[in-house]
Amino acid sequence: MSSYHFNNRAEGIFAEGFFDCDGKPVRDTFVWQMRAKLVGIAGRNWSRAQNADLAASFSSAEMNAIMCEIDHPHVRIEFDMDYYGGDYTSVGQHAYVPEALIDLLGGDVAAALAKFKRIDPVHMVGYSGDERFDADGEPLEEFEVAAERCA
């Protein structure tokens, strides 16, 4: 098991006692930053227990992949909370999931969507397998797709 900068007690504040799913300590501010990326403003008033549950739902490697730089390759996944399979003719929402997270999960795009967006993968409509985007949804040029991965 690798350790990351956010597991190193010498590099931050660990007052809240957050741990990943493997029992490694996770820096308080890192959990708050990850919460902001995954949940947005809706997580602003989360309790300590909610933050602890968030940290405990990921391995440190998954956290590292999720918090990769904005210009690292992401896969565009379309989902719709009203979709449960079958033919789909509407336009859903898009999530830009770090490719490094998908790789960590053995290429399972649905599992990566579930981890990243915290929704049931049954709502996944599809994904773009041959295109890569940055975290904001801007297409990456071919030479950028070969960029170093986060994890």
pLDDT at position 147 over 60: no
Which residues sit opposite 19 in a β-bridge?
25
CA-to-CA distance for 145 and 60, rounded, in angstroms? Answer: 24
Q: What is the band of 90 on the pLDDT scale with cuts at 50, 70, 90?
A: confident
Enter the tokens of residue 67: 């918090």
pLDDT at 2 over 80: no
Longest dimension (CA), the chain: 52
Please state the rounded mean pLDDT for residues 122-137.
Answer: 91
**Better-predicted residue by pLDDT, 141 or 43:** 43
Q: Which of 8, 70, 16, 75 minimizes the C-alpha distance to 46?
A: 16
* pLDDT tens, position by position, 55-70: 999 999 999 999 998 8
Distance from C-alpha of 52 to C-alpha of 25, rounded to nearest angstrom:
11
Q: 79 pairs with which residues across the strands? A: 93, 124
Predicted local confidence at residue 142, as pLDDT: 61
Alpha-carbon span 3 to 26, nearest angstrom? 10
Beta bridge partners of 95: 77
